[in-house]
A = this chain, B = another copy of it.
């Protein structure tokens, strides 16, 4: 079965994006079936591309040559949920939004949330170590995933599906597979710790006159909102222009150089409103924030969603603007926006827009460049420039998107040779025939 009809040649992923090609798509329902598939493929040296919701941005979930697609789409059952501990155990193919709904009905929330929630699978989230909108509050999947079931390249089922908060018996093997992008094993089930559902959620959308003020607002916010701060997102003026132009969304605040979305999630409506009120008074009074009045604060869900849309739909607005080059980097927060201004100056009129937005609280910048159409020459102007710039700050050239197929050769910008060597040794140990998601994550050359 051809996966993308009419796009079935090994090189057609170039130049615009990674478009895959495969003659076989398999959709197992159980880990036993996954095990049988992998045993078969391992014996016959057949390459396999594990695939969840296929929402990645670096081509990790797309076959490059003739890999067999192993989709988790039919592995979508919740196995158990403990309403005292908040521990959820489910199959890898459960869609994140479905799980969110499931645990919310039981007064808990998933510890992760991201734009692709309507289609991404929890197994894929774990395999790519997805970050997203709740990272600031609940941290990394390396901390919230309690157990995994993984099928190894030769079909061995590795049962590390514990649902305990603490377990120090031997090496924590599940960690190997979190963020391994399907190259070390196929995740078939996940046990994850869900925090209690917050009783009160407030969202404020604010304007800031400059990046220095953005940083000071962040410090003030951490101090004054404390443990109820659940998101601190930022976008620049060009992002807002694109969102207004392509999606016809109205800005709730007066024109500013930067915009902030601050979210609180807590257990007391009154307490949280009081904390947020004091914070707003402080930042408005001191001139850190130029606009953050009544119309920009939401306590009810629909208004909060409208404010979130301004931030979450930036990706969509960018797509409407032309061809988009996307970068996802971690940087020391003080230097976060310098990369945007530097690249903007470097590209000049060659780009339509160079925009910066992202998870400021996590030091995670999404840097996007829009142009009329893809140009290899322009790509050469940006790469390895962006990677070298990031490496110069000891940043990460992939904060939350992974390396996949597109960025695997840039790995060395963030990891030294002994680390890359050890990664290759781990790959050789766990997948000696190299059948699992080949051509991904690790560099082309040893």
Contacts and interface: CB of A to CB of B under 8 A. Distances in A.
A170 B152 CA distance: 18
Interface in A362-385: 362-364
Contact of A139 (B143, B225, B429): B143
A320 interface: no
A113 to B, nearest CB: 15
B162 A394 contact: yes
Nearest to A166: B399
Nearest to A275: B268
A271 interface: yes
A388 interface: no
A196 B223 contact: yes
* Chain B CB within 10 A, most for which of A129, A168, A176: A168
Contacts of A410: 169
A330 interface: yes
Given A226-B196, A419-B159, A178 B170 contact: no
A292 B158 CA distance: 47
Interface in A316-341: 330-334
A257 interface: no
Interface string A162-200: 111111111111011011100010000000000010110
A363 B173 contact: no
Interface in A395-434: 395-403, 410-411, 413-416, 418-420, 422-423, 425-426, 429-430
A293 interface: no
A199 B224 CA distance: 10
A267 B224 CA distance: 7
This protein's copies in its complex: 2
Interface in A207-248: 215, 218-219, 222-228
A157 interface: yes
Nearest to A183: B171
A50 interface: no
A363 B164 contact: yes
A160 interface: yes
A253 B215 CA distance: 48
A226 B267 contact: yes
A176 B179 contact: no
A171 B184 contact: yes
B266 A169 contact: no
A356 B29 CA distance: 43
Contacts of A84: 215, 218-219, 333-334
Contacts of A215: 84
A120 to B, nearest CB: 15
A170 B333 contact: no
Contact of A403 (B170, B332, B395): B170
A142 interface: yes
Contact of A166 (B164, B275, B400, B403): B400
Interface string A137-156: 00110111000000010001
Contacts of A397: 169
Contacts of A169: 396-398, 403, 410-411, 413-415
Contacts of A254: none
B442 A170 contact: yes
Given A171-B184, A199-B226, A364 B165 contact: yes
A180 B171 contact: yes
B222 A418 contact: no
Contacts of A158: 416, 418-419, 422
19 contacts: A84-B334, A85-B363, A128-B168, A129-B168, A139-B143, A142-B142, A157-B418, A158-B422, A164-B330, A164-B331, A165-B364, A166-B399, A166-B400, A168-B396, A169-B403, A170-B419, A172-B179, A196-B222, A196-B226
The 6 residue pairs across chains A and B that have the minimum distance between CB atoms: A143-B143, A226-B267, A175-B175, A167-B396, A169-B414, A166-B399
Interface of A: 82, 84-85, 128-129, 131, 135, 139-140, 142-144, 152, 156-160, 162-173, 175-176, 178-180, 184, 196, 198-199, 215, 218-219, 222-228, 265-268, 271, 274-275, 330-334, 359, 362-364, 394-403, 410-411, 413-416, 418-420, 422-423, 425-426, 429-430, 441-442
